[in-house]
């Protein structure tokens, strides 16, 4: 028997003024940062601007580095999606618990597919650190001194120097926090021989990893919200990102994540429609009110507690519900900020593609990029009305119409891809989440969607 969805609390919030810089009529990325497009509530514990790692709103300085092609991004995206599926397949679907599966030795993060960053302060006095957000990771980490150039990537800010922080401490071996990292194949990496300091390692789906000292210090999210004794990885060796980011903030459901460490009952974010707009990350967000959010139950795996899962039950194109057999969706889907395009059960994808192509039959298809996982592409620009509406229908009837075109198309292609079968877990990628406030009501066991939030 499916449990009754908990009653979600309505919290009255004061809204901030609309912040709009420049024109907002076009969703196409421009060379100028246009700022926030709509107002957002400010009643949360912390509200942080969120930006795409590349583009005019990026906090990173422009450089001569080569921007990867869409095909390159999707190749790394495939690595991430494959690792998520391998970790969860066999644990049973989103509507079940348990199952005899081993916790994966690598997380689902292909780090160079992560796209969104926030800026926080670390240490006392606080040192600015710009980090990627990732709901598919638990351990937060930044690059720390000493970190030889051959072992670390160049970054925007100065390397965090533990010796300069009055509140820094290395976590000792044998402590509960160190033991909580687990043994080989998890996050634990033994102890330093000289100081007996706890060592961590995080392995990612693209084969990269970060290693260093598991540490504690003050994390400042906003002037009014700081976290004392926040546990994070002080990375002394990695070679991961191709941008200037300082590290990663883990927003997963595991014990080491920011969400768990701060006992955050709910958090949310809004990913902007293009790199020329800003979104936001809210921690301690007001739990979803049914009048403002489309709400569906959240599920968790007892074996891999990082991921947040939902149950997709239908898809509509141009207002017409596709005849996807209910059995095709039973494996559930991971809500993921780091996967780019949504992965659907094979049957659901074939029906979506056929319906979308039918609606676009007046426009000739063009060849997709070579080696791309996308297969339905058009040379269509400008008029949003050309693109048919696509809605995702989740359990309990939560219907979410995707933003047009930013939540449906990626570089002119339908931004969905199929799993190999109907038994593998699906993934709701970040393209489909654009402009939605996606709320993770961890305490209430629900995921909410509010359209037009950024």
Query: Under 8 Å CB-to-CB from 142, ≥6 apart: which residues?
Result: 122, 129, 131, 160, 232, 233, 234, 235, 246, 247
Residue holding tokens 């606080």? 126
Q: Give the bridge partners for 201, in sequence order.
A: 211
Q: Decide if 371 is catalytic.
A: no
H-helix or E-strand spanning residue 355: helix 346-359
β-pairing, 413-414 vs 365-366, is: unpaired
The CA distance from 25 to 291, in Å, is: 26
Q: Which residue has tokens 């039950």?
A: 313
Which residues are bridge partners to 360 per DSSP?
none
Q: Are 257 and 250 in contact (CB under 8 A)?
A: yes
134 is catalytic: yes
Residue 81 CB contacts under 8 Å (≥ 6 apart), including other chains? 108, 339, 343, 417, 427
Indicate which residue of 77, 112, 336, 441 is catalytic. 336
Q: Are the C-beta atoms of 293 and 375 separated by less than 8 Å?
A: no
Catalytic one of 77, 134, 422, 441: 134
Closest CA to 220 of 129, 116, 142, 157: 129
Task: Please give the Cα distance from 175 to 185 (Å, whole number).
Answer: 19
Burial 245-262 (b: 16+ CB within 10 A, else e): bbbbbbbbbbbbbbbbbb
H or E stretch at 354: helix 346-359
Could you give the count of Cα atoms lying within 13 Å of 181 in the half-sphere of its Cβ?
A: 30
Active site positions, annotated? 134, 336
């Amino acid at each position: 028997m499916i449990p009754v969805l908990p009653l979600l609390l309505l919290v009255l919030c004061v809204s901030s003024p609309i912040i709009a810089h420049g024109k907002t009529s076009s969703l196409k990325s421009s060379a100028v940062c246009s700022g926030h497009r709509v107002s957002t509530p400010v009643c949360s514990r912390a509200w942080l601007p969120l930006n795409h790692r590349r583009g005019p709103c990026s906090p990173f300085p422009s450089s001569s580095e080569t921007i990867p092609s869409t095909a390159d991004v999707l190749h790394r995206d495939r690595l991430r999606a494959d690792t998520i599926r391998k970790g969860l397949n066999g644990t049973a679907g989103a509507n079940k618990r348990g199952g005899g599966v081993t916790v994966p030795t690598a997380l689902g993060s292909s780090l160079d597919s992560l796209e969104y960053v926030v800026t926080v302060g670390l240490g006392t006095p606080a040192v600015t650190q710009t980090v990627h957000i990732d709901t598919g990771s638990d351990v937060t980490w930044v690059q720390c001194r000493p970190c030889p150039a051959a072992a670390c990537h160049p970054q925007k800010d100065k390397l965090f120097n533990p010796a300069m922080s009055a509140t820094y401490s290395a976590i000792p071996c044998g402590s509960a926090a160190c033991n909580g990292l687990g043994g080989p194949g998890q996050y634990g990496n033994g102890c330093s021989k000289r100081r007996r300091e706890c060592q961590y390692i995080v392995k990612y789906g693209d084969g990269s990893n970060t290693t260093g000292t598991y540490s504690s210090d003050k994390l400042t999210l906003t002037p009014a919200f700081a976290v004392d004794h926040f546990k994070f990885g002080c990375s002394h060796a990695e070679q991961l990102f191709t941008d200037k980011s300082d590290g990663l903030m883990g927003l997963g459901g595991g014990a080491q994540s920011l969400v768990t460490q701060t006992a955050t009952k709910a958090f949310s974010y809004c990913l902007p429609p293009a790199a020329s707009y800003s979104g936001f990350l809210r921690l301690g967000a007001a739990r979803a009110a049914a009048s403002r959010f489309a709400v569906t139950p959240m599920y968790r795996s007892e074996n891999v507690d990082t991921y947040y899962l939902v149950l997709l039950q239908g898809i509509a194109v141009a207002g017409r519900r596709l005849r996807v057999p209910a059995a095709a969706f039973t494996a559930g889907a991971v809500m993921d900020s780091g996967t780019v395009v949504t992965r659907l059960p094979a049957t659901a994808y074939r029906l979506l593609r056929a319906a979308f192509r039918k609606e676009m039959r007046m426009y000739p298809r063009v060849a997709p990029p070579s080696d791309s996982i996308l297969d339905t592409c058009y040379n269509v620009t400008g008029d949003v009305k050309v693109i048919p509406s696509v809605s995702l229908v989740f359990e309990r009837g939560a219907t979410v119409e995707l933003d047009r075109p930013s939540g449906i198309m990626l570089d002119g292609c339908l931004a969905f891809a199929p799993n190999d079968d109907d038994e593998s877990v699906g993934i709701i990628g970040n393209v489909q989440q654009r402009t939605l406030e996606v709320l993770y009501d961890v305490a209430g066991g629900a995921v909410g969607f509010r359209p037009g939030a950024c």
